[in-house]
Structure 1
C-alpha cells in the first residue's frame, strides 16, 4: 500500500503484515492514535492492569509463538514499570517489540512531563532503541524492528513514538514480513563436531537458548538416544529434551545437582548448543575455567559476538540451534565408549529428583507426582522466581518442547502473566502457574485480565509467609537475624483476594486434600487459584529453615 495515512495507521498496517494477532498494553493518552487505528485492524488488544504484567505477557507470548510479542505502554512511569519485562526479554533472548508513547517533539530535551530519553535508558536492555520522529519512515522502522528481534540472538527492540508524530500524515510503502536469516553450519563444521564427539570418552551435551523448533527437539532426542549421549539442559530450558529420556541427566541452574556439576567439570568434551553460558547456566561461572576451559568446548550459538564472551571455545559455530541440529543428525548417530558414563549420570539424576519428605502437612513432592500422573503431558507450566520453584523444576518431568515458560533472568512475578500469555497462545493447552506468596503479589492483579478474557489458567500459590529465597540466604549469612523477609503479617487472604476478581479459589492445608481441591478448581470455566499452605520450615528440599540456621551458626 502506497497511500497517504497517519503514522499510527501505517504502524498498525505493519503489525498486520507481520502477522501480529494480539498486543498487550496499559493504555495511555500518548498513543491514543494507535489505539484508534487498532480499533478496525482485527488485532486483539489485551488491556492489562500493570505495565510490568503487560510486558511479561508480551515476552512470554514471544517465547511461545517464536514471533515478537508486542507491547504498548505510556511514557515515563509506564515505560519504567514495563522495563521489568524488557529485562526478561533481553536475558532470555526472546523476540519482543516495545512501543512507548513518547512526549511530543516540541517539548523534548526540556525535561517535559514524564520525559525520558529511552535511547539512554534502554541502551543495554534492547537490541536497538529506534525513536520514530518522521511519519514517512514508520514502515521502515517497524519492519526493521521485527527483523532485528528475530535475527541472530533474538531479543527486544524498543520504539518510542512521539505523540504528535502519530497524527502526522505520510505516504510510504509497506514493509514485508520479517524472516530470520538462515544461519546453518557448514558441512566441514558438522563433520568436525561429529568427529570430536566420537573421540571423546566423557562427552556432555548442553542444550539451551531460543531458536528451537519442535522438529529439531524431536530430531535431537532421537540422535542423542541412538548415540547414548548424556545431555543436560541450561537454566530453565528443561523442555528441550524429554526428562524421561535415558539421555537426560539434569539441569545446570540454581541449586544444581553437585554430581552433575562435577560431571560437567570433568567432561573431556562439552558441546553447547544454543545456550549463552551465562552466570546461572554455568553455576556461577564455576563449571569451566575462564577464559580457557579445561574441557574441550564446542559452542554453537546464533550470534558470533556472544561466543567467547567469557569462555574461549576450541571450536565455535555461528548457527541457529535448530538448523545446527538438523545438520548434525543427518548422518545418523555417533558411536563411542561412553554408554556406562551416560547410564551413571542418569542414575544420579534420578536419585537427585527422587521424592523426599519435608516438614509440615503439605508434601510438595507428592503433589508434583500427582500432577505429573493426572495432567496431560503437554501441560504448560509457568513460574516466577523464588525457592518455591524448586518443587517444579526439580520434581516435575518436562516432556514436551514449549511446556516450560520461566524467566532465565529470575524475575519475580513472571508466572501469572506468563500463564495468561500461554492461555492466549495455546488455548487448547492446560496451563499451570506455580507461584510463591511474595511472587504472586508482584502481578496478582492480572487475575482481572484473566477473568475479563475467561482464561482457564490454574494458579498454585505456595504460601510459606516469607520471601523464601532471601530468607534462605539471610539465614546462611546472618543466622537468626530475620529482617524484612517475613510476609505473614501483611499477606492477604489469597482465596478472598482471588474470588474478588471472579476466580475460583480454595485453600489446601494437607496433601490429601489437594487432588479433590484441584478437581473443583479445574471444573471452573475461568481462572482458578489454590492457596497451598507450606510449612515455613520447608525452606528447601535439602535443608529445613532450622537446619539452615544451625549449619550457619556452626560455621561461626
Structure 2
C-alpha cells in the first residue's frame, strides 16, 4: 500500500477490481455528473470501465474542448470539473485548458492515461511526461503507482482542487495501473479546513472604513469562488459604499444594482475608473490587482489606502501594498466586517451622490449612427431579453469586452470567460459545458470570427447530444482587438489580421446539423434575438458588423486609468 493510500482502509475483502473500475466507481461516489473527454490507446481501459459505470461521458472533438467544457461546467455549478485524455498528444492538448483554469482559480481534475510504468522514460509510443510538463500549471499532480491507490488519489485530487484557492490538478494513470486489479479499497478522508477569520485585522479595517470619505468596494473573482456573493451584496447594500468589479467578478453585485459603477480597468467604464482614481480607501475582496485592471500600477488609486481580503497570502502585497491585509475565509470575513460597520454612520453621502451621478452621466449610449448592426446595442438587448436566466460563455477579443461592458448579469455564474489567460477558442466548448450544467438557462456563446474557428469542431458535439446552446457570432472579418491596437498604437500597420476569407458560417453550421441564420442590419436585431432564444435546439446567429468598429473606452498601455480614450461619436457623453 502506498503512502497516500494509508489514510483509511475499507472493504479490504472486496472482490478484485481494476484500477480503471475503481476510478469510475470513485467518480460516481464523489457525485460527478459528467466527464468531458476523448479516448485513445493509453486510456482505453478507463473507457472500457465507463460503459455502464454510472458516470455520463461527453465525447468532445478535441481535448482542448474537453478542458474548456469542464472549466465552464465548474464555473456554472461551483462543482469540480472533470476532463480526461489519453497520453501524448491527448494530454498535451489539455494544457491550454489547464492553464486557463489555473489563471482563473477554477477547480478541475484532469485525468490522463499514460504508457505502462515499465515503459515510462523509454520514449515509448505516445509517451510524454505530462506531470513534468504541467508542473507550473496545476496545484498538485500525481502519477498513480498502485491500483489500490486510485480511490485515495482521486479523492485527494478533488479535495486539493476545491480547497483553499481552487485550481486544476492532474492525475496520470499508467496503463498497467488501469488494468491491474486489487482486492483492497482504500479511501482518503481529510477534515474540512476552514481558514480562521483574522478578527484583529477586521477591526483595523473597520476603523479605516469609518474614517474614509471616499471608500470604494473593489470586487474580484475570489468572491464567487468563496461562496461570498450574498455576503458581499449585503455589505454593499447596508453600507451604501459604491463598487467596481473586475472582469471575472461581473455579476457578483448585480450590474443593475444601485451603487455599482461597472468594470474597472483597460476597457472599464469611465465612472468606475474615475472612482478608483479618486477614492481614499479601496476595500478589495478577492482580487489580485491584475495589470488589465490597474493600468499603470504606480499611478493606480493614488490617494487610497487598501484593505485587502484574500484567502491566498501570496496575493497580499504582491502588486499593491495593503495597509490592512485580511487573510482567511472570505465569506466569514465579509460577514464580520458587515456586522461591525453596517450600523456605523458613514459620512459618505456626498461621495455616493458624486459617483452614482457620474455613472448616470457617462452611461453607455446605443444610438450609434448608421444602419448596420451596432454590437454593444445587440448584446445589451440580448441580455435583457434573456433576463436573469442569461448566461454568457464568451470568447476572447472585442466581443468579450463588449459583453463585459454592455450585458446585464444577475449573478457571477452568468458570466463565463477566459480572464487571466485570455484563451481564444474558449467560448464554444465553454457554452457546451455551461448548458449541460444549467439546461434551463439561456446559455449563449458570444464569439468572434477569429475565436470561433479555433474550436469550431465542437458544433458536432452540440448536435450529437442535442445541447441547445445559442451562439452569437460577431463577424468583422478580422482579428478585431489586434486590428484596433494596430490602428491606435502601430500606425495602422495592419499585419496578419485580415479574415475576409472566412467561410460561410451559416452554411458551416448547417453542415454540422445546427440551425443558423445571418443578420446584417439594425432592424433585424430584435427579430434575430427572438428567433435565437426560441430555437428548440442549438442555433447560431451570424452577425455581420463594421470591421472598423472599436471597443471604447480604452486605457492606452502605460497610462493610468484616468487617461481613457473615448468614442468621438459620443464625445462628452461617455
Structure 2-normalised TM-score? Answer: 0.89
Q: From 322, 339, 342, give the equivalent of 2:352.
A: 342
1:354 — aligned with what?
365
Q: Following the alignment from structure 1 to structure 2, what is the Cα–Cα distance between the partners of residues 244 and 114?
A: 52
1:278 — aligned with what?
290
Q: From 83, 88, 101, give the equivalent of 2:113.
A: 101
Question: CA, structure 1 residues 96+120, in 2 after alignment: closer, same or farther (shift >3 Å)?
Answer: same
- 2:223, 2:232 within 8 Å by CA — same for their partners in 1? no
Q: Following the alignment from structure 2 to structure 1, what is the Cα–Cα distance between the partners of residues 550 and 152?
A: 52
- 1:137, 1:172 within 8 Å by CA — same for their partners in 2? no
Correspondence list, 1:377-396, <5 A:
377-396=388-407
Q: Which moved more, 1:132-141 or 1:180-189?
A: 180-189
1:297 — aligned with what?
306
Q: Following the alignment from structure 1 to structure 2, what is the Cα–Cα distance between the partners of residues 179 and 287?
A: 44
How many matched pairs?
Answer: 541
Q: Following the alignment from structure 1 to structure 2, what is the Cα–Cα distance between the partners of residues 169 and 475?
A: 62
2:79 — aligned with what?
67
- 1:66, 1:211 within 8 Å by CA — same for their partners in 2? no
Question: CA, structure 1 residues 430+407, in 2 after alignment: closer, same or farther (shift >3 Å)?
Answer: same
Question: CA, structure 1 residues 513+356, in 2 after alignment: closer, same or farther (shift >3 Å)?
Answer: closer
Pairwise CA distance, 1:339: 2.2
Correspondence list, 1:136-535, <5 A:
136-175=148-187, 181-210=193-222, 212=224, 216-258=228-270, 260-283=272-295, 285=297, 288=300, 295-331=304-340, 332-350=342-360, 351-357=362-368, 361-408=372-419, 409-489=421-501, 491-535=502-546
Q: Following the alignment from structure 2 to structure 1, what is the Cα–Cα distance between the partners of residues 256 and 206?
A: 25
Q: Following the alignment from structure 2 to structure 1, what is the Cα–Cα distance between the partners of residues 357 and 427?
A: 31
Residues 519-550 of structure 1 show CA distances to partners (whole Å, capped at 9, x for unaligned) of 3333332110000000112122459xxxx9xx
Q: Following the alignment from structure 1 to structure 2, what is the Cα–Cα distance between the partners of residues 340 and 177?
A: 53
Q: Which secondary structure state, in structure 2, belongs to the residue aligned with residue 164 of structure 1?
A: helix
Q: Following the alignment from structure 2 to structure 1, what is the Cα–Cα distance between the partners of residues 247 and 95?
A: 22
Question: CA, structure 1 residues 430+512, in 2 after alignment: closer, same or farther (shift >3 Å)?
Answer: same
Q: Which secondary structure state, in structure 2, belongs to the residue aligned with residue 354 of structure 1?
A: coil
Residues 285-336 of structure 1 show CA distances to partners (whole Å, capped at 9, x for unaligned) of 35648xxx76321111112233222223222222232232233324535431
The runs of 5 or more residues in structure 2 that have no matched partner are: 1-10, 555-564, 569-574
Pairwise CA distance, 1:122: 0.9
Residues 213-267 of structure 1 show CA distances to partners (whole Å, capped at 9, x for unaligned) of 7974234223312211011111231110011111211112432235533432342
Pairwise CA distance, 1:55: 0.5
Residues 342-369 of structure 1 show CA distances to partners (whole Å, capped at 9, x for unaligned) of 2322333341433351666112233234
Q: Which secondary structure state, in structure 2, belongs to the residue aligned with residue 506 of structure 1?
A: strand
Q: From 102, 105, 115, give the equivalent of 1:90.
A: 102
- 2:261, 2:269 within 8 Å by CA — same for their partners in 1? no
Q: Which moved more, 1:387-396 or 1:208-217?
A: 208-217
- 2:249, 2:412 within 8 Å by CA — same for their partners in 1? no
Q: Following the alignment from structure 1 to structure 2, what is the Cα–Cα distance between the partners of residues 266 and 64?
A: 35
1:81 — aligned with what?
93
Q: Which moved more, 1:307-316 or 1:118-127?
A: 307-316
Pairwise CA distance, 1:48: 0.2
Q: Which has the higher contact order (CA 8 A, sep 6+)?
A: 2
2:572 — aligned with what?
none
Question: CA, structure 1 residues 269+523, in 2 after alignment: closer, same or farther (shift >3 Å)?
Answer: closer
Q: Following the alignment from structure 1 to structure 2, what is the Cα–Cα distance between the partners of residues 324 and 421?
A: 32
Q: Which moved more, 1:217-226 or 1:493-502?
A: 217-226
Residues 119-154 of structure 1 show CA distances to partners (whole Å, capped at 9, x for unaligned) of 321111110121112222212211221111111110
Q: Following the alignment from structure 1 to structure 2, what is the Cα–Cα distance between the partners of residues 410 and 428?
A: 28
Q: Following the alignment from structure 1 to structure 2, what is the Cα–Cα distance between the partners of residues 169 and 115?
A: 23
Pairwise CA distance, 1:378: 2.7
Q: Which secondary structure state, in structure 2, belongs to the residue aligned with residue 193 of structure 1?
A: helix
Q: Which secondary structure state, in structure 2, belongs to the residue aligned with residue 375 of structure 1?
A: helix
- 1:360, 1:538 within 8 Å by CA — same for their partners in 2? no
Q: Which moved more, 1:105-114 or 1:382-391?
A: 105-114
Question: CA, structure 1 residues 405+140, in 2 after alignment: closer, same or farther (shift >3 Å)?
Answer: same
Question: CA, structure 1 residues 333+526, in 2 after alignment: closer, same or farther (shift >3 Å)?
Answer: farther
2:50 — aligned with what?
38
Q: Following the alignment from structure 2 to structure 1, what is the Cα–Cα distance between the partners of residues 217 and 223?
A: 17
Q: Which secondary structure state, in structure 2, belongs to the residue aligned with residue 460 of structure 1?
A: strand
Q: Following the alignment from structure 1 to structure 2, what is the Cα–Cα distance between the partners of residues 308 and 542?
A: 29
RMSD (Å) for aligned C-alpha atoms:
2.3
